[in-house]
Amino acid sequence: MALRNSSKPKKIGVVGVGSFGTAIANMLAEKSDVMVYARKEEVVAEINSVHMVAGRELNPGIQATSDPEKLCKICDILFFMVPSTGFLEAVRNFAPFLYPYHMIIHGTKGLALNLAPGENLDTVKKLKRSQILTMSEVILQETVAIRVGCLAGPNISKELILDQPAATVVASKYNEVILEGQRLLRSERFQVYGNSDIIGVELSGVLKNIIAIASGALAGLGLGENAKGLLISRGMVEMVHLSKALGGSVQSVMGLAGIGDLVTTCNSVDSRNFTVGFRLAKGESLDQILATMDEVAEGVNTVRIIDSFIKTVGIRAPITENLHRVLFEDLSIEDALQFLMKYPFSVDVDFV
Amino acid sequence: MYALSNDLPLGRAFFLSLRPFHNQHATLDENYIKHRYDPIIPSKEEWPVVKLARERKEFVKKVADLAESRVLGLTGKNPDILKEELETTLYREKLRIKQNPWAVDPDDESLFWNEVKTSLLQVNTDSSLDKAKRFQAYQEILHSITSRYAEEIASNFKASHYKFTRRVVTYGFSRLLNAARVKGFKSIFSNQYTLQDKIQITGQTDQIRDLATKGTIVMVPTHFSNLDSILIGWIISVLGMPPFIYGAGLNLFNISIFAYFMNALGAYKVDRRKKNLMYLETLKTYSKEAIQFGCHSLFFPGGTRSRSGMIESKLKLGLLSTAIEAQRANFQNGISDISGKIFIVPVTINYHFVLEAPGLIQEHLSLTGQERYYKENDEFSTSYKISKFLFKFFTKGSDISVSIGKAMDVLGNYVDQNGNSLDKRGRKIDTRDYFISDGKITVDQQREEEYTNMLGKRIVEEFHLINRVFSSHLVSFVAFEIIRSKNVKLDIFDLIRLPEEDIVIPFEEFKSICQMVLNRIFELKAQGKIDAAPHLSRPMDEIISHGIDNVGMYHAKRPLVRDKEGNIATEDMSLLYFYHNRLHGYGLEKLF
């Protein structure tokens, strides 16, 4: 009996049942037994009884739990699909039950700060690279798991749920993590690429949110496709330089998680980042916009962190800097645009 | 001879201002407790290294066979790829024999490689051989090569030599020391000073001794001087541990004194001229198998001596990976308790003075960071020079301290007294789990490469934590950074070429900046990020005199001197740069 139990394949765990988490859980459930974690008991009960979460259907084979320890015991591979604001807390909840044999793949696009207790972005004058953590670095810092990977790419949950064709990148320093990710997720409608530059892939997914706000702003100003083409191209150059400064490679920005996701996000009028930019251009202030959004637009946070970082290390990133001035220093969006049009970008591409 | 003047207070004070200052009092007033450590394994028959020496023949054969199968695995058992590897190896070896022969090379080298050439030609031209036969023929040639390499690498440890060497080192040196320190003829028989007065051992000495009886130790020290090998050998024996085996550069065996010491201390030979696949695989196999055998090992993870004087920041990972492989192999063989556990122990060796510094820093500067081939050529070239250095060292002072770091598992987790790995929160974890996927231990070379990188980073971190700052490090760091900050437009090469006679730092300015940097060092020390020698808690004037007197004290041109007005000057900028580099990596330069 004990033998049979141990030879039974383990389940795949998914932490977080937001839109992306639900989509990934359903895709995983096509091939494997899946268990999801939700913090709230009533969500767990809903999933286990009617296989629904927040109006989205879950594969009936998927079980739910609110017990991190149970999930860690039942699953060797965990997908962390929680928003960046709750990421650190979720990881800390799981840390006591994670062991070095666990593999963790996350799908969260955001940055966290690694500051001393009592410090925050307003109190620190400088922000060094060591004080900025990507989500995989959060996992490495907080847990004993080291076989860590990430998912990134143009993966709009709504389209994934409709089973439309798409692709993603699984990035990890460990080939075995990439291979597991591909084995678990690949299907006729879902292509999975591998990349060993996990930092570069994570940064691509994070930095493109800045450009997405700018894209929304251009749309809000009523500008057309020429302007958008200009923005995407210059945005990509800025992403390359920022990613390099933070330890990513140029190639990753050129890939699916970089350009691929950038183009998708700059055109997706439903995205929160795009909406922030759009409403800014329509004359609302950041506070007004944030007051009416139920989830935080990640790009706003990213602009603050990156702006602080570039000032510390002394590099220029005109789009980020001007967005920062619009968001936090009362520069009007028209003036920011004027400034960017006059900025001496003399060379088109200077990194290849 | 001024070395004898130090028991006369007046004479001492007088000489202090002119000549190197003697550290004897400094050493004694530092609360350093001299331990006497009992041997952890009293019977030398039980020493792993002795057992290995007994089984040398079988062991060499095992290494040769395993190395052969590793090479076969890497060539995918494809006769054409194997042939290419054999031909490359042959070509490189012939080139080496012609262009860079060493005294230590065996006489039959040309003969052996000519035979390899003949056999290869025969197989290549024999059209009667089918694919399988051809492969078999190549495999035989491969076997002869790995057997030769394994035999060459294997150590010639002899317990009787070890005992003799240890006695010579300890007894001989302490005679010298006492003769020099305590005045008078009778002092030759005095026991007032021992080697342990000169060489302080600090840090986790009890832990390493304890774990050495339970599992297998891999010690990884920083490497600044050729003296390190002997020094570490001696430290290991003072700590009561059986000898460790270690890979010593074959070039050292060119020198007869070293060859004797090395063989006696359990060294196996690493020939850095040989970079071919077959040699490297044999070397790694040797190291891995010896660790699995239970032999405590020593790697200098920097590969060679630090040319720049900086603490190694990039490690050579080749041999380090064998510790991880051996650990995984032990788990695979079902040895999951502490007897199969491998402990990594970082060690820093701190000097005021590195004999080879002038040569090392010149090489560093001329290489400008690029790793290229260079001829091994240094001041440690003859037995005479070494003896002269040792005599100076023991008669004139210049302390050395050796800091033993906390033991870690092969993934860089600290371990508790029972050898259990602990995570950052102190929770017990099982190292075995790192090698498991899908419930089983798996062999994944790429994963182990990543683990090796991680371990390398952890070792560098630990080096910085246990590094012990000396007065000489402080003064050379401060002096160089002051000069740099006054010449911000110059790059390092122009700085080095500044005419020494033009450089003068006013003493008061120097002193106040020394204090500022020292304060920062103590802040870091309070956070556990660096260690500092006890002499740094003395008044700043004394620290500065002590530092200037000691920094590179035997070089013909001194890195730091005080001029007639008492201001700070240098006689050799590149040496100053070398000694300054010891404090690189702590962000202290940002204070300027």
Q: Is B554 exposed, middle or buried (0-12, 13-18, 19+ CB in 10 A)?
A: middle
pLDDT score recorded for residue B44: 78
Q: What is the pLDDT of residues A197-251, one digit of tens each?
A: 999 999 999 999 999 999 999 999 999 899 999 999 999 999 999 999 999 999 9
Residue environment code for B462-486, b if the CB has 16+ CB neighbours within 10 A, otherwise e = bbbbbbbbbbbbbbbbbbbbbbbee
Residue-number span of the structural domain to which B59 is assigned: 46-153
Structure tokens at B535: 């002499």
Chosen for mutation from B443, B450, B590 (greatest number of chain A CBs closer than 10 Å) is B450
For residue B374, give every residue at least 6 positions away whose Cβ sits within 8 Å of its Cβ, in sequence order, or none: B363, B367
Structure tokens at A153: 């790419």
List of chain B residues whose C-beta atoms are within 8 Å of the C-beta of residue A147: 447
Structural domain count, chain B: 3
Catalytic entry in A40, A208, A244, A282: A208
pLDDT score recorded for residue B496: 84
Q: Which of A6, A100, A176 sits opposite B433 (nearest CB)?
A: A100
**What is the C-alpha to C-alpha distance for residues A26 and A48, in angstroms, rounded to an integer?**
14
Q: Which of B411, B433, B450 sits opposite A173 (nearest CB)?
A: B450
CATH number at residue A101: 3.40.50.720
**What is the C-alpha to C-alpha distance for residues A245 and B358, in angstroms, rounded to an integer?**
36
The residue with greater pLDDT, B201 or B373, is: B201
Name every residue in B having a CB less than 8 A away from some CB of A.
411, 423-425, 427, 429-431, 433-434, 436-439, 444, 446-447, 450, 454
Q: Which of A76, A95, A175 sits opposite B446 (nearest CB)?
A: A175
For residue B488, give every residue at least 6 positions away whose Cβ sits within 8 Å of its Cβ, in sequence order, or none: none
In a domain, A351, yes or no: no
Q: Does residue B414 share a domain with residue B396?
A: yes
Structure tokens at A54: 């927040």
Residue that has been written with the tokens 């194997």 in this structure: B82
In a domain, B77, yes or no: yes
Q: Does residue A204 share a domain with residue A177?
A: no
Of B464, B494, B518, which marks where a domain is finished? B464
Q: What 3-state DSSP class applies to A12?
A: strand
In a domain, B368, yes or no: yes
DSSP code of residue B125: H
Q: Does residue B63 share a domain with residue B208?
A: no
Q: Edge-to-edge, what's the strand order for the sheet holding B199-203?
A: B199-203, B400-404, B342-351, B216-221, B297-298, B245-249, B267-270
List of chain A residues whose C-beta atoms are within 8 Å of the C-beta of residue B454: 146
ipTM summary value: 0.89
Structure tokens at B341: 């556990």
A98 → chain B, closest CA residue: B429
List of chain A residues whose C-beta atoms are within 8 Å of the C-beta of residue B424: 144
Band the pLDDT of A64: cuts 50, 70, 90.
very high
**What is the C-alpha to C-alpha distance for residues B508 and A213, in angstroms, rounded to an integer?**
56
Q: What is the pLDDT of residues B18-50, one digit of tens each?
A: 333 333 333 433 445 566 788 888 887 888 888
The residue-averaged pLDDT of B119-130 equals 90
Q: Is the pLDDT of residue B554 over 90?
A: no
Whether B27 and B196 have beta carbons less than 8 Å apart is answered as no
Q: Does residue A73 share a domain with residue A142?
A: yes
Proportion of chain B above pLDDT 90, given as a percent = 49
In a domain, B374, yes or no: yes
List of chain A residues whose C-beta atoms are within 8 Å of the C-beta of residue B427: 96, 144
Q: With CB atoms and an 8 Å threshold, state whether B439 touches A174.
A: no
Q: With CB atoms and an 8 Å threshold, state whether B439 touches A10.
A: yes
Q: Parallel, antiparallel, or unpaired: how do β-strands A75-80 and A11-15 relate?
A: parallel
Structure tokens at A124: 């620190």
pLDDT score recorded for residue B3: 36
Interface A–B counts its CB contacts (< 8 A) at: 44
Alpha-carbon gap: A144 to the closest alpha carbon of chain B (Å): 6
B423 → chain A, closest CA residue: A144
Among residues A347, A116, A103, which one has the least CA distance to residue A241?
A: A347
Residue-number span of the structural domain to which A310 is assigned: 200-342
Q: Does residue B504 share a domain with residue B458?
A: no
Band the pLDDT of B394: cuts 50, 70, 90.
low
CA distances from B536 to B21, B26, B139, B473 (A): 16, 11, 61, 11
Name every residue in A having a CB less than 8 A away from some CB of B.
6, 10, 76, 95-96, 99-101, 103, 144, 146-147, 173-176
Q: What 3-state DSSP class applies to B437?
A: strand
Q: What is the pLDDT of residues A160-181, one digit of tens each?
A: 988 899 999 999 999 999 999 9
B440 → chain A, closest CA residue: A101
Task: Give B387-418 as a 3 state SS string.
Answer: HHHHHHHHHHCCCEEEEECCCECCCCCEECCC
A7 → chain B, closest CA residue: B439
Q: Does residue A95 share a domain with residue A50?
A: yes
pLDDT score recorded for residue A20: 92
CA distances from A42 to A66, A90, A286, B296 (A): 10, 18, 34, 57
Q: Does residue A132 share a domain with residue A14?
A: yes
In a domain, B168, yes or no: no
Of A196, A219, A249, which marks where a domain is finished? A196
Q: What is the pLDDT of residues B180-196, one digit of tens each?
A: 555 445 555 555 556 66
Q: What is the pLDDT of residues B493-519, one digit of tens each?
A: 888 888 888 899 999 999 999 999 999
pLDDT score recorded for residue B30: 44
Q: Does residue A160 share a domain with residue A148?
A: yes
Alpha-carbon gap: B280 to the closest alpha carbon of chain A (Å): 24
Q: Does residue A63 share a domain with residue A170?
A: yes
Q: With CB atoms and an 8 Å threshold, state whether A99 touches B424.
A: no
Q: Does residue A302 share a domain with residue A334?
A: yes
**What is the C-alpha to C-alpha distance for residues B69 and A273, in angstroms, rounded to an integer?**
56
In a domain, B250, yes or no: no
For residue B584, give every residue at least 6 positions away whose Cβ sits within 8 Å of its Cβ, in sequence order, or none: B308, B310, B311
Of A161, A196, A231, which marks where a domain is finished? A196
Structural domain count, chain A: 2
In a domain, B424, yes or no: yes
In a domain, B72, yes or no: yes
Q: What is the pLDDT of residues B69-95, one digit of tens each?
A: 999 999 988 999 999 999 999 999 999
- For the beta carbon of residue B373, count every other beta carbon within 10 angstroms: 8
Q: Does residue A192 share a domain with residue A298?
A: no
pLDDT score recorded for residue B542: 94
Q: What is the pLDDT of residues B254-276, one digit of tens each?
A: 777 777 777 767 788 888 889 89
The whole model's pTM is what?
A: 0.86
Question: Does A158 participate in catalysis according to the annotation?
Answer: no
Q: Does residue A141 share a domain with residue A16?
A: yes
Q: Is A114 exposed, middle or buried (0-12, 13-18, 19+ CB in 10 A)?
A: middle
pLDDT score recorded for residue B370: 45
The residue-averaged pLDDT of B423-446 equals 93
Q: Does residue A172 share a domain with residue A312?
A: no
Whether B567 and B504 have beta carbons less than 8 Å apart is answered as yes
Among residues B241, B247, B282, B283, which one has the least CA distance to residue B262?
A: B247
CATH number at residue A235: 1.10.1040.10
CA quadruple A32, A35, A38, A42: dihedral sign: positive
Max Cα-Cα span within chain A:
74
Q: Does residue A70 share a domain with residue A148?
A: yes
Helix ranges, B250-398 (H): 256-264, 277-293, 317-332, 357-367, 383-396
